[in-house]
Amino acid sequence: GNSVTQMEGPVTLSEEAFLTINCTYTATGYPSLFWYVQYPGEGLQLLLKATKADDKGSNKGFEATYRKETTSFHLEKGSVQVSDSAVYFCALDNQGGKLIFGQGTELSVKP
């Protein structure tokens, strides 16, 4: 079946540190891959996405590359800010709108 595995949190970083959140997936076919972010007390919002192999999604300094050979979609940011503190969800979709989410990774950025 389809599944997404993310690195466990919480992840605690100092401001301006480099961020990597690992995400790997198992899926039949060619899924689209997404990163969603959930700020405290809010709903999810799309951070970035990639719809085919080798595509790179990017937004707000975050980026992730769709790697079919390693079935991965790791999230990176060169310099995190306190305002990036949130829960990050990796997700895939290869069934027409049925998003399959990873377990979420909580990020806490300290000043």
Partner 1 sequence: DTAVSQTPKYLVTQMGNDKSIKCEQNLGHDTMYWYKQDSKKFLKIMFSYNNKELIINETVPNRFSPKSPDKAHLNLHINSLELGDSAVYFCASSQKTSGTDTQYFGPGTRLTVL
Binding region for partner 1 (CB under 8 A): 31-32, 34, 36, 38, 42-46, 49, 51, 87, 89, 93-101, 103-104, 106
Please, which contacts does 41-49 make with residues 24 or more away whose CB atoms are closer than 8 Å? 44/89, 47/75, 47/88
* Cβ atoms of 4 and 102 closer than 8 Å: yes
Closer Cβ to partner 1, 79 or 103, answer by number: 103
Residue whose CB is less far from partner 1, 76 or 93:
93
- For tokens 């997700």, name the residue: 91
When the beta carbons of 24 and 101 are compared against partner 1, the nearer one is 101
